[in-house]
């Protein structure tokens, strides 16, 4: 039985954790030019500040969920907060690229521990009929981090220096770590031994795939190193599937993918983050390279997009609890794809910013419809004892969508355009936005597999269902 105080602290503390993660996804990107000037390194080398964070974040989320199930989700949330905060302080104190890259790698580890646990702990704090509304709040907090990332990055660079993008995490992380043991209720998954071979195969396989994807544009997509990384990653993921089939205590029960809507929700989550991150990257390139706007001005200009999920997600989450996730996820992804397509057609060397406003609003509304409901669909498709694993899997699919979205956007941009002239930037951005819109539409097709009312059969259903096994 949860109280309003329990629910308040669950939102506040998981929200603080989520806010730091989403803020760091974009604030670093907006300050790369300042880092490059201060550290005196090439942009290719500086790209590791972004890539290493993505690598550790994407690869270790399943591990973070498994550790939370085994050792306690609240306990591992505190560990994740301390790791993330310590790494942020190390990044703030960095004076050369190597120190900064190591700090970002550890920061990604902390984020991987935190992300799936924010969903699991928040879901556990609310009764079934209010969980989708709570996930709407979760989505709003994520939207706040996205909205403030470019803005804070621009303000910090112009008024202080780039080190302060890391310092701002420290008081938030320390306060949340101190309050969590006293304010959050501990929960665990099934008390079984860790599937160590599964952890090794999953982590190694995801590392190969994410490494090849993040480095494909720099090293070449047909380079031996890229192809070898993909091959090793695929083999290790195949070994992971075989291990999970025969494990008595699997890290990821494969039966989850046979439950109604689980695979569909993860496919939709991948499509959402692919399109969202690709579009954001490309629109920022257009505003800064063609319009000549500063990083701060570009952040302000994207507010019609970034503020809408913050304002609307609590309402779409509550609506999903009443009518089911499927219509909102399908409709939201189609709206996201339409807005992305509209942004492509609105771009032009002589085009005004006003022509982008309607597409930006459509993108923001689409995200607001999808984000809380795709998480609800994934968790609602799992039985209570597997909710941690479902959260980790959904978080991993969404992060992989972000990785592939940016990588493919850069690939298409380079093939269709360049930074040689404003016209070339528009050509490249348009072509890449067409691809991003297509992936968003495919995500909508995948979302058709979400049951009309998934909460009736999964983790959002009555606890009595917990006696059944997903495997």
Per-residue pLDDT of the chain (471 residues; tens, 9 = 90+): 567 888 889 888 998 898 888 888 778 877 777 888 888 887 667 778 877 888 888 778 878 888 888 888 899 999 999 999 999 999 999 988 899 999 999 999 999 999 888 878 887 788 776 777 777 777 778 777 777 777 788 788 778 888 999 999 999 999 999 999 988 888 776 666 777 788 788 888 888 888 888 788 778 888 999 999 999 999 999 998 998 888 877 777 788 888 778 899 999 999 999 999 899 889 988 998 898 887 778 878 888 887 888 788 888 888 888 888 899 999 999 999 999 999 999 999 989 999 999 999 999 999 999 988 888 888 877 777 777 778 778 888 888 888 888 888 888 998 898 888 999 999 999 999 999 999 999 999 999 999 876 444 444 443 333 323 333
Which pLDDT score, from 0 to 100, does residue 44 have? 65
Contact between 287 and 301 under an 8 Å Cβ cutoff? The reply is yes
Report CA torsion sign: 292, 335, 217, 201.
Answer: positive
Q: Rounded to an integer, what distance in angstroms lies between the CA atom of residue 471 and that of residue 466?
A: 12
Which pLDDT score, from 0 to 100, does residue 467 have? 29
**CA atoms within a 13 Å half-sphere pointing along the CA-CB vector of 18:** 24
Q: Rounded to an integer, what distance in angstroms lies between the CA atom of residue 468 and that of residue 385?
A: 9
Which pLDDT score, from 0 to 100, does residue 459 have? 46
Contact between 232 and 208 under an 8 Å Cβ cutoff? The reply is yes
Contacts of 404 (CB under 8 A, 6+ apart): 213, 270, 274
Taking the CB of residue 99, how many other CB atoms lie within 10 A of it?
A: 14
Which pLDDT score, from 0 to 100, does residue 361 have? 96
Contact between 81 and 177 under an 8 Å Cβ cutoff? The reply is yes
Which pLDDT score, from 0 to 100, does residue 293 have? 84
Q: Rounded to an integer, what distance in angstroms lies between the CA atom of residue 441 and that of residue 341?
A: 11
Q: Rounded to an integer, what distance in angstroms lies between the CA atom of residue 400 and that of residue 202?
A: 13
Q: At what angle do helices 387-416 and 61-71 cross, to 10 degrees?
A: 170
Taking the CB of residue 25, how many other CB atoms lie within 10 A of it?
A: 21
Q: Rounded to an integer, what distance in angstroms lies between the CA atom of residue 97 and that of residue 42?
A: 10
DSSP secondary structure string for all residues of 20-38: HHHHHHHHHHHTHHHHHHH
Which pLDDT score, from 0 to 100, does residue 355 have? 94
Contact between 380 and 261 under an 8 Å Cβ cutoff? The reply is yes
Which pLDDT score, from 0 to 100, does residue 438 have? 97
Give the SS3 label for residue 425: helix
**Which helix (H) or strand (E) segment is 373 a member of?**
helix 354-380
Contact between 329 and 160 under an 8 Å Cβ cutoff? The reply is no
**CA R_g for the chain:** 21
Q: Rounded to an integer, what distance in angstroms lies between the CA atom of residue 411 and that of residue 134?
A: 37
Which pLDDT score, from 0 to 100, does residue 463 have? 36
Contacts of 52 (CB under 8 A, 6+ apart): 101, 104, 105, 108
Q: Rounded to an integer, what distance in angstroms lies between the CA atom of residue 192 and that of residue 251?
A: 10
Contact between 161 and 48 under an 8 Å Cβ cutoff? The reply is no
Contact between 190 and 70 under an 8 Å Cβ cutoff? The reply is no
Size (the chain), residues: 471
Which pLDDT score, from 0 to 100, does residue 458 have? 45
pTM of the entire structure?
Answer: 0.82
Give me the phi and psi of 404, to 5 degrees please: -70, -35
Contact between 401 and 269 under an 8 Å Cβ cutoff? The reply is yes
What DSSP character marks residue 194? Answer: -
């Amino acid at each position: 039985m949860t109280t309003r105080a329990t629910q308040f602290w669950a939102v506040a503390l998981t929200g603080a954790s989520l806010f730091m993660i989403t803020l760091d996804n974009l604030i670093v990107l907006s300050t790369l030019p300042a880092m490059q000037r201060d550290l005196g390194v090439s942009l290719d080398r500086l790209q590791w500040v972004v890539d290493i964070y993505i690598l550790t974040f994407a690869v270790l989320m399943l591990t973070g969920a498994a550790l939370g199930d085994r050792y306690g989700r609240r306990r591992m949330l505190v560990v994740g907060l301390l790791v993330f905060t310590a790494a942020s302080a190390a990044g703030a104190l960095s004076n050369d690229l190597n120190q900064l890259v190591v700090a970002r790698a550890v920061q990604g580890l902390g984020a991987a521990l935190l992300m799936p646990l924010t969903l699991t702990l928040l879901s556990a704090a609310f009764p079934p009929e209010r969980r989708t509304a709570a996930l709407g709040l979760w989505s709003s907090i994520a939207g706040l981090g996205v909205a403030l990332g470019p803005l804070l990055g621009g303000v910090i660079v112009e008024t202080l220096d780039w080190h302060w993008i890391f310092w701002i995490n420290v008081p938030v992380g320390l306060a949340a770590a101190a309050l969590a043991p006293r304010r959050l209720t501990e929960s665990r998954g099934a008390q079984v031994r860790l599937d160590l071979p599964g952890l090794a195969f999953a982590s190694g396989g995801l590392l190969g795939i994410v490494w090849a994807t993040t480095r494909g544009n720099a090293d070449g997509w047909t380079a031996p190193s890229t192809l070898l990384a993909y091959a090793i990653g695929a083999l290790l993921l195949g070994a992971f599937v075989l291990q999970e089939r025969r494990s008595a205590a699997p890290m990821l029960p494969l039966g989850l993918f046979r439950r109604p809507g689980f695979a569909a929700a993860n496919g939709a989550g991948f499509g959402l983050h692919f399109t969202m991150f690709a579009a954001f990257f490309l629109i920022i390139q257009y505003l800064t390279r063609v319009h000549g706007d500063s990083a701060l001005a570009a952040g302000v200009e994207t507010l019609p997009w970034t503020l809408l999920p913050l304002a609307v997600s609590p309402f779409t989450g509550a609506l999903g609890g009443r009518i089911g996730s499927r219509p909102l996820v399908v409709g939201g992804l189609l709206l996201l794809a339409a807005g992305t397509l509209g942004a492509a057609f609105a771009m032009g060397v002589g085009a005004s910013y006003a022509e982008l406003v309607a597409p930006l609003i459509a993108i923001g509304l689409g995200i607001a419809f999808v984000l809380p409901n795709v998480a609800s669909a994934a968790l609602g498709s799992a039985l209570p004892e597997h909710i941690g694993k479902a959260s980790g899997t959904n978080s991993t699919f969404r992060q992989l969508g972000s990785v592939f979205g940016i990588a493919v956007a850069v690939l298409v941009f380079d093939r269709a355009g360049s930074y040689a002239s404003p016209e070339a930037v528009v050509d490249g951005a348009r072509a890449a936005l067409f691809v991003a819109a297509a992936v968003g539409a495919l995500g909508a097709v995948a979302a058709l597999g979400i049951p009309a009312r998934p909460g009736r059969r999964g983790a959002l259903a009555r606890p009595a269902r917990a006696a059944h096994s997903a495997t």
